[in-house]
Structure 1
Amino acid sequence: MKKTILLAVFASVSAFAQKTYIQCGNLIDTRNQKVLKDMTIVVEGNKITEVKNGLHKGEKTDNVIDLSKKFVMPGLIDMHVHIESQTAKDQFQKRIQYSEADIAFESQKYANVTLMAGFTTVRDLGGSNVNISLRNAINRGSVVGPRIFTSGKTIATTGGHGDPSNGIGTKLSLQEEASNGVVNSAEEARKAVRQRYQDGADWIKITATGGVLSIAKNGKGPQFQDDELNGLIATAKDYGFGVAAHAHGAEGMKRALRAGVTTIEHGSFLDDECIALFKEKGAYLVPTIIAGKTASDSAKIPGYYHPFVVKKALETGVLIQDAFARAYKAGVKICFGTDAGVFPHGYNAKEFMYMTEAGMPIMEALKAATITNAFVLGMENELGAIEAGKLADIVAIDDDPTKDVKALMKMSFVMKDGKVYKK
């Protein structure tokens, strides 16, 4: 009996001690923005324990993964996704018809596709509480997907971008719980933040201006008053939340920046005063260029969007890349984010193409999608780089992205938390 127990303990200790040696022909150092030749990453459990010069194999009992012909980098981070849904001609109809169970099953598919595209971590900015349950299921290992930081439901104003009743006739009604993120005073804004805390959200998402895809006429006007923003953001800070503000129009952007938001999403109509406020306040721009371009293209398909949306998509979509270019060249801090769901999930890396077209070098764009995003998430000690002590989120592609940015669209290896999901 004692012998059996000892053997079992020895076997478990041996399994725990087993290491994985990942041989990297080209290791992209996103912190220092350079490519290192012939390196080996040593992984134990879910963490990187060592990064060594040369190609090593370890002991006979250790695993070896040969990526000597590939370009290896940290798992990518997308700071703006909507993993519960995906663009479609009947998307509005689905929003009315689908139950939370329907949404949950769909979201698992989108989560899997996102991870296989090399995005091992995402920040989900607005959906239902399915987001929170999906995050928990992925963390438990019940569902395959990226590590999720979620805002749960968006906080909006009546009729504003994010009000779930937009476009629904007066004969239909929503459950009261569906609209618990619609606020119209500083006190209601504070209460909504506290509700997100109780729900288990990681971030707060607000809609500081109108939006493109909501069925409402104005896509850029401000939608929160200063007292509402101040009450909301002060409460968010008390509860340890960062605040992401959807903002297309300049005035709403300025109000959100003055109030102290962490990130501005989109920034389509930013002006010089907005740029100055970004730099003064230390806020980050999440450009989502691919979303603007996709919405503009979809608006040209007859019947794809509501007429209100068509007009806004055609006006806004063509501006977003230029807005990013001006902000980047002026020294605004940039996070990589795409608004996945506005375009089909899994194409997130196409954003790198648009960022480089607008003047950001690919190595800077990769840094934005790793080092910078990890810092903004408060995960700089765990994510964003291939370094000893960090979580083993490691991805690889076949070709050199510094020579062909499109190479990032073809992910050939994905490890998240020390587990291989694609090879």
Structure 2
Amino acid sequence: MRATLLSLALLFPSVAVAAPAVDAARELHCGKLFDARSGRLLGPHTVQVRDGRIQGVSAGIPAIPAGTALDLRGHTCLPGWTDLHVHMGSQSSPQSYSEGFRLDPVDFAFRSVGYAEKTLLAGFTSVRDLGGEVAPHLRDAIAQGLVKGPRIFAAGKSIATTGGHADPTNGWNHMLSELAGAPGPTEGVVNSVDDARQAVRQRYKDGSDVIKITATGGVLSYARSGDAPQFTVDEVKAVVDTARDYGYRVAAHAHGTEGMKRAVMAGVTSIEHGTQMTDEVMRLMKQHGTWYVPTIYAGRFVADKARIDGYFPEVVRPKAARIGAQIQDTFARAYKAGVKIGFGTDMGVGPHGDNAREFVYMVEAGMPAAAALQSATIRAAEVLGVDDQGVIEAGKRADIVAVPGDPLADIGVVMDVAFVMKDGVVYKAPRAGDADAAGSP
């Protein structure tokens, strides 16, 4: 296989592809503007965009609009949203487990193209993809203008232990396991400190942007435990220290308490899901500055599907029913305790494009709408470690979305995104027939 790929690479050298064309200059006339730094909703504002960046932001709307103005006076403009936990190469269905044996990677890649566009049109101009070999390639295709989608920060293959949540051979029979051989650090499966270092270096070689570990069992993996710790503290620390050498941040999937404690003490950037988070874990997270990405949507989705005969394998079904139902309550406690929270859905578990429903669930659990919106804008940028997005300010990326009405008064309007701009390109606009709605410059 390697020889074949090398031959193809020599026969067909890579060709540079231009990124999407960007309008030289545009003006957005916003009826209201969400200030992500303060969490306040401001009155009418004009946002000037040039060459993919925000050139200026000023109060008021000119009486005589410029010829390049976009009329959003009936809408609230917000920074483009970021979903910190997605899986762009897949989407849950009763066939998900068998498809891994029947479909080729190219099949999942083609599916991801549609998922990416749905995500962007739902208002999410950036995502952090936490596990999937398709994501780095999809990221590059979007950056080159071949595919419409959000900016992707890709983990590539998640790092697991043998039999752990991201062991790709879980559920395989003896014959298949013998044919494939035992997966190792190259495949993201580790069993020692040295393996952990090698796995991170392999992700660097593969072009990942972030490192993902599965610190405990998981809900949807073909294994009994959904919460047992699966790394030693030393193994997690080896991942974190090696990741730091390469400028990476580390996200830790974790449902069980002990696995969370080990991950936090070892220095991970974020805990994902956090289902059985205790007061002790919350204190540790606050002490270490660890972020929490709750993924309420995924919890509710799997708990609902667990009621349907045949949707999940029987080994998965009790985990989905027990663990999924807890996440929203855990989120409510963590928010009240003052744990830092970033927005994430685990989309790919649920249907792509429905990401904004997480806002509704967050508010339902007691978080103010302003804080929920901040979690997907300025706070998400902090989790990613970037300073050029998440706010509508001069010099930042021109990532802007707009919704009708007032999202602080009615968070439900986030489900009706009318306008999407990413890097100065308009992909969706409220006026039917507008050329910009198709992403044309």
TM range (shorter): over 0.9
Q: Are 1:21 and 1:57, in contact at CA under 8 Å, matched by a contact in 2? A: no
Q: 1:99 maps to which residue?
A: 104
2:382 corresponds to 1:395:
no
> Relative to 1, partners in 2 of residues 1:46 and 1:177: Cα closer, same or farther, differing over 3 Å?
farther
Contact 1:21 1:65 in 2 (8 A): yes
Offset of residue 59 of structure 1? 8.4
2:69 maps to a residue whose letter is: V
Q: Which amino acid aligns with 1:244?
A: A
Displacement, 1:421?
Answer: 0.3
**2:249 corresponds to which residue?**
242
Give the structure 2 partner of residue 89 of structure 1: 94
Relative to structure 1, is the Cα distance of residues 417 and 21 closer, same or farther in structure 2, using a 3 angstrom cutoff?
same
What's the secondary structure of 1:314's corresponding residue?
Answer: helix
- Confirm or deny that 1:28 pairs with 2:34: yes
In 2, distance between residues paired with 1:177 and 1:421? 45
Counterpart residue identity of residue 140, structure 1:
Q
Secondary structure of the residue aligned to 1:172 is: helix
CA displacement, residues 182-213 of structure 1 (integer Å, 9 cap, x when unaligned):
11111001000000001100000000000000
Q: How far 1:399 moved relative to its partner?
A: 2.4
In 2, Cα distance between equivalents of 1:40 and 1:259 = 45
Q: How much does 1:24 deviate?
A: 0.4
Equivalent residues of 1:275, 1:332 under 8 A apart: yes
SS at match of 2:33: strand
The change in CA–CA distance for 1:112 and 1:224 in structure 2 (over 3 A counts) is same
2:77 aligns to what? 72
Letter in 1 for 2:277: L
2:49 aligned counterpart, secondary structure:
strand
Other-structure match for 1:151: 155
| Residue aligning to 1:10 | none
1:161 to 136, 157, 165: 165
| Equivalent in the alignment of 1:193 | 200
Q: Match for 2:109: what amino acid?
A: A
Residue aligning to 1:124: 129
Separation in 1, partners of 2:31, 2:182: 53
**Counterpart residue type for residue 331 of structure 2:** F
Question: Secondary structure of the residue that 1:230 maps to in structure 2?
Answer: helix
Query: Residue in 1 aligned with 2:433?
Result: none
- The equivalent position to 1:134 in structure 2, one of 129, 138, 145, is 138
Structure 1 counterpart of 2:332: 325
RMSD: 1.6
Amino acid at match of 1:212: V
Question: Cα gap change, 1:182/1:402 in structure 2, threshold over 3 Å: closer, same or farther?
Answer: same
CA distance in 2, matches of 1:177, 1:203: 25
Q: 1:364 to 1:269 in 2, by over 3 A?
A: same
Specify the code of the residue in structure 1 equivalent to 2:132.
G
Partners of 2:22 and 2:52 within 8 A in 1:
no
Give yes or no for contact 1:112–1:145 (8 Å, CA) kept in 2: yes
Is contact 1:86–1:344 with CA below 8 Å preserved after alignment? yes
- The secondary structure found in structure 2 opposite 1:171 is helix
Percent identity over the alignment is: 53
State the match for 1:355 in structure 2: 362
SS in 2 for 1:79: strand
Which whole-Å CA distance do the structure 1 matches of 2:181 and 2:173 have between them?
A: 16
Q: Residues of 2 paired with 1:252 and 1:159: CA distance?
A: 15
Alpha carbons 2:159, 2:190 under 8 Å: kept: yes
Q: TM-score with structure 1 length normalisation?
A: 0.93
Q: Quote how far apart the aligned CAs of 1:379 are.
A: 1.5
Paired residue for 1:3? none
Which SS does the other structure have where 2:312 is aligned? coil
2:356–2:414 CA contact under 8 A, matched in 1? yes
TM-aligned CA distance change 1:16 to 1:92, over 3 Å: closer
What is the one-letter code of the residue matched to 1:55?
I
Question: Counterpart of 1:280 in 2: which secondary structure?
Answer: helix
Whole-angstrom CA distance in 2 between matches of 1:16 and 1:337: 29
In the TM superposition, what whole-angstrom CA distance separates every residue of 1:269-297 from its partner, at most 9, and x where no partner exists?
01111011101100000000010000000
**Contact map agreement 1:18 1:63 (CA 8 A) in 2:** no
Q: Structure 2: any 5+ residue segments left out of the alignment?
A: 1-20, 430-441
Paired residue for 2:285, among 278, 281, 291?
Answer: 278
Return the alpha-carbon distance in structure 2 between the equivalents of residues 108 and 404 of structure 1. 32
Separation in 2, partners of 1:190, 1:89: 36
Matched, 1:109 2:114: yes
Deviation at residue 359 of structure 1 after TM alignment: 1.0
Does the C-alpha gap of structure 1 residues 32 and 291 become closer, same or farther in structure 2, counting only changes over 3 Å? same
- Give the match for residue 48 of structure 1: 54
**Runs of 5+ consecutive residues of structure 1 not aligned to the other structure:** 1-14
2:106 is matched by which residue type in structure 1? A
Give the letter aligned to residue 44 of structure 1.
R
* Residues 133-173 of structure 1 deviation map (CA, whole Å, 9 limit, x = unaligned): 11011011111000000100000011010111111111224
**Structure 1 216/403 Cα, relative in aligned 2: closer, same or farther at 3 Å?**
same
Tell me which amino acid in the other structure corresponds to 2:232: Q
In structure 1, distance between residues paired with 2:53 and 2:24: 12
What is the Cα deviation at residue 56 of structure 1? 2.9
Specify the alignment match of 2:8 in structure 1.
none
Instruction: Tell me if 1:410 matches 2:416.
Output: yes
TM value normalised by structure 2: 0.90
Please report how far the alpha carbon of residue 18 of structure 1 lies from its aligned counterpart in structure 2 after TM superposition.
4.4
Q: Check conservation: 1:79, 1:338, Cα contact below 8 A.
A: yes
